[in-house]
Structure 1
Amino acid sequence: MQAKNYVYKIDARDRIISISPEWVTFAEANQAADLPRAVLGSSLWSHLYGAEAVHVYQALLRRLRQEECLLTVPFRCDSPGIRRYLQMVMQPFPDHAVEFVCTILREEPRDEVALLNPATQRDDRFIVMCGWCKKVQTSEWVEVEEAIIRLHLFDQPRLPHITHGVCPRCKHTLLSQYY
């Protein structure tokens, strides 16, 4: 079975100019039915959260466009019941557009994690999740299930919002290998 590619492309001003049908299907299957209509024409930066995550993406795009090289970046895109391990190939074009081709390498089913469900009731707190490996910051960076235990979230009527950062391991890997 051939792996599906989930593709989107940005122009030189970092506006999303195309998304593949597979990307749309994936978004709809993951409770983001309105996302495809809202995404086209919008800034890539309006879809990334956390200053540190934005900084790393900006650094990667700068290098990519200057050196006109392909970058392959591992990352995770988890849902409440599935851990997904992906790779993203970033390809520059002469007009400074960039195409992002994301491929699922493997999936691991798991018990539903309410913290990852967009429909979960939230309070005014925030926790930081690495935008690449999906580990959550506690006294150290740990998998979401462990973070729920350490942060005593299992007995809370409402859960915190998730914002994205970059754990030290991913930051080192991304910036040393790709920048």
Structure 2
Amino acid sequence: MEVVRTARLVLSRVTADDLDAVHEIHSDPRTSVYHPDGPVTDVESSRAMLDLWLADWEERGLGYWAVRRTGESHVLGFGGLRRAVVDQEEVLNLYYRFRPSAWGQGYALELAKAALRVGEGLGGPVVAVIREVNEPSRKVAEKAGMHKDRTIPYGGVPSDVYVA
């Protein structure tokens, strides 16, 4: 699970060397338009996010991947599964965020489908928590085969819980 290959992508365990890409992607206002807190504003916040992801891999053997095109070193985005508690239930949380230059090319859907395949063997429900206004993320989840199960307050805003 540390490295998963799809038709066009290599999904690999994040490393400390991914900090610059984490910050570039998460500090871009365009990638954070649906995030209640907005974009990350400083490198230390990006480092804390990456440290959490690194700890997931170390402690749980599962976490988010860095996404690259096959044969390339440039990080297109981040995503995958991590264990989380959503609405008082332990779940595998599906996440995806890409550089705007990677939008519209089907990479998020490719990652989501790969993550769902991995999640099938891990014995927990796979969910995606999506703000009601985040239509692009909703479309990815639905195309990957997920469906809306319920709406909950999450991060201070109403959010839909999609399940596989």
Question: TM (normalized to structure 2)?
Answer: 0.32
- Larger CA Rg, structure 1 vs 2: 1
**TM-score normalised by length of structure 1:** 0.30
